Structure 1
Amino acid sequence: MFAKCGDLSVDALSALTDDSVVIQLNDSQNIKTRFAKAVRRRRRELDLTQEQLAEISNLDRTYISLIERAERSPTLENVEKLAHGLGLKIWEFFARYVEES
């Protein structure tokens, strides 16, 4: 079921992907918090420091720190840089990490 754009009372939203996989988006944590946890989790899996990820992603280490603490929302361009730095395509990163957080 898809929610209307203005309907903020919806607890969960199902979206159908091209592969017919249903992804549940839960409002229990906001997207910034889920994204922050996902970046930290993947970075640690790769055994990278924030500084190393920043260098690979061509971003500043303090910016990585702010993202991981859910204090900043990255632009789409920076999401792409982060995904690349974490060795994933954007869709893989969101499918594997953000939705599991």
Structure 2
Amino acid sequence: MSWMDDNPFSTGSRTYQRVLIAGMIILGIGFITAIVGGLTSTRALSLAAVWIMGAGLITHIIAQTIRYYGRRQELKANLEADRKRRQQRGKDTT
């Protein structure tokens, strides 16, 4: 087993992966816009960059929330399956 098996991105849902990538792309666009706005001394472009980066950060937080709830559901399902296995073992041994 490699370290890639425990990677949150590869074990997350497709929705999580897509929202996370979208957030990173939006953040990248915001960074590029901020650099261009700083180099050209354009205040409006710099302010737009702040809003774009804010949208990227919010998107990233939404992705983390999706991952959190998905992981909670996985853990709950695993706990229930483990509980059922223990009950079956108890019934088989008596």
Larger Rg: 2
The structure that is strand-richer by fraction is 1
Instruction: With the length of structure 1 as denominator, give the TM-score of the two structures.
Output: 0.22
Q: Which structure has greater helix proportion?
A: 2
Higher relative contact order, structure no. (Cα contacts within 8 Å, ≥ 6 residues apart): 2
